[in-house]
Structure 1
Amino acid sequence: MTESQEAPEGSELPPPTGIVVGVDGSDHGNCALIWAAREAQSRKLPLHLVTAYSVPIFAASGLDGGFATIDNNVIRQGAEVVLEQAAQQLGEYPDLTYDTRVEAGDASGVLLELSESAELLVFGSRGRGGFVGRLLGSVSSGLPGHAKCPTVTVPLSCASRLGIAGKSKDEPLVESVVTVGVDGSERARYTVLRAAEHAQRNGLSLRVVCAVPPYSGAMTWLPAPLDRQGILEEVREQMAAGAAWIRSHFPQLSISADVVDGPPIEILIQATKLSELLVLGSRGHGGFAGMILGSTTDAVLHHAKGPVMVVPEKDDPRLADREKFGPLLKEV
């Protein structure tokens, strides 16, 4: 049975322990809500619907200058209506437990605080104001890099695949695969583990991708051209060893490892069109994920056609046996 819980006035709900989704009534927020509801049901975790508001202060005009504020109760009531409308969309998830939370404060600060205890943060790529109005501005650009738990950004273009809108004739068929980008860093190896967990839990296959970027102008000083084909073959050997390591921990999972010769950003964006989920680490070396939190993240999140998960660094005992399976992927 679906359960709803809301904090009584003057009290607070306990810190969220499941999946937190930011809602604001926008179409982008609705996409995030549906994706989060499905994920929460799949993981058998509670879903926490959250909206935040801040009371604006503006300068009063006239001879008796001063500052005025809008009634806090009016704004809070509007936020509560947004949550009520969002909760009405959860009727088709009979096994889902959820609660609704209205938080006072800046959206980014609210989400970052909730990430301390949450399993996952989910939000739309844009919003209409209030909670996610600045997403893909200062809020979502900062959240993937600073949140204590993984984050998922869900773009509006996911509406059709989530059943919110009809499928366009020109829309590519999404494959039943989770794609994860690696670059040779240990952070990336942990990211692969999280991607594999998501794939196995949802009955999807896993595709591990390493992009080898083209030569840059900074390399033109080299006295002889690099053996490009040799580099690609070496990376393929390292990727095959990594795939064998993942199979040892997920023996039932279908896994492929691909080395792609081309610009990482373009490859990442293309992957969002065809994958159920793209997974990246929050930091890395150069190449594929090296500029996460910089231009790569901005470019992918602004142009992604599917959900993008960003995973923060964390220790994992499964990383200890990676070297047993062959050469480690070096920085690319």
Structure 2
Amino acid sequence: MELSWLDDFLALVDCGNFSRAADARHLTQPAFSRRIRALEDWAGTPLFDRSAQPVTLTEAGRRFRPFADETVRRLLQGREEARLAAQSEAATLRFAATHALSLTFFPSWLRALEARARLGAITLSSDSMEACERLMLAGQAQFLLCHAHPAAAGRLDAESFRSVVVGGDRLLAVTAPDAAGRPRHLLAARENSESGESAPLPHLSYSRESGMGRILEAVRAAQSLPAALDTVFTSHLAAVLRTLARDGRGVAWLPESLIAEDLARGTLVRAGVPAGDERWIVPVQIRLVRPRARQSKAAESFWTLAVEAALWRNAESPTESIIPVAGAESVTEEEL
């Protein structure tokens, strides 16, 4: 069995189509199909249902997938660790963080930790949640800083990764103000005078690769909000949605940390009506995620520092205590 077959397997799982997966792997479709067949011959059973469109996993394939994910991740992590071991002992901490947190939370959080201990060199990869998860699975980042919510699961399962709450935020439904400073778009249920149906509101939405998009989708599935939304624009970047919301293009759920200045200046206003309607607020956690496998000495020291700071913060702010999130385990004091 060749490692490349596992990469082929995961590419087909992600693409759901032999032609697109072959392109992603820079192979001809016949060559790609032969490699998938070779993997299935090695496994002794079909892993894909080719009669379905898009191609889906068989039950055997579904059971095989987590092992393929973990094997590829561990091998890539092993290669990365071998390369690091061959280099000097200069310990570089490698972070992945979503775009919004890279701008709003990461700098001040890092500064607070540096006040408690000296840190070495740091690299930060800022991208969508989906891309950050890929970096973690490939062992190319030691830590992930992301938004999280109990209702929204990600790809980083609790068997392979652990996490701690290091902050909190809120996703607020906002829109541009009209000339009188009132919300241009109102989230309260509106009745169309002619049809009697709720009139849809223009919605500035997150794409699927966005962590906040996952959170909002899960929250909306769990609790029905009395507003019809018509998605008019989609992006994985909260900063892009913020700009369009300020231009009056629709309603967007944005991190309060990102739009605090806009709210203070009045360039954005809350879209919920009446004022203070809590249905439109989505509380989220800010989590630091790491692999369960042992990291470098510098990374382990940083993790201990971050957990101690988080435990102190949670003790000071009991209303923001650690809450279990699907796909990640909360870290308690006993785990230090």
TM-score (norm 2): 0.27
TM-score (norm 1): 0.27
- RCO higher in 1 or 2 (8 Å CA, sep ≥ 6)? 2
